[in-house]
Amino acid sequence: MTKVHEGQFIGSDGKVYLEVPDELVKQLGITAGDSVTLTVDAYRNLHVQVKSSKSTEKMCEACGRVPPRNKCKSCGKEVCGSCWWAMGSICNKCGKLSWRKHV
């Protein structure tokens, strides 16, 4: 059985805002700053997607700018493609250290 939640649309500056009942906010786990996307499919079903404002995604341990793609064999850090030396499967820092050892 589908439960109906009532709210109200509030228009301002060409944007549409939807007032969401507290019960639905708790059910969806929405917090302040979250982005909520409502889409309607071809069968007129409403889909709700909540994107948290808190970043839970891991970032590169060397530069901290993008998600990691590789793990360094030497130190174990998870690094992005820019901070990665593919020849040795190591991060830039370990690559520079090992380069100095061999020179």
Q: Estimate the share of the chain in helix, then strand, then coil, as percent rounded to the nearest 5.
A: 20, 25, 50
Residue 42 sits in a domain whose CATH number is 2.10.260
Rg for the chain, CA atoms, rounded: 23
Is there a domain that residue 1 lies in?
A: no
Task: Spell out, as residue ranges, where the chain has pLDDT lower than 50.
Answer: 1, 102-103
Does residue 30 fall inside a structural domain?
Answer: yes
Q: Which pLDDT score is estimated for 64?
A: 85
Q: Is residue 57 part of a domain?
A: no
Domain coverage including residue 47: 9-51
Residues in the chain: 103
Number of domains in the chain: 2
Please give the single-letter amino acid code of residue 100: R
Total-model pTM = 0.42
Tell me, yes or no, whether 4 lies in a domain.
no
45 is a domain residue: yes
Mean confidence (pLDDT) of the chain: 77
Which tens digits make up the pLDDT trace of 51-64?
A: 776 656 788 898 88
Note whether residue 59 is domain-resident.
no
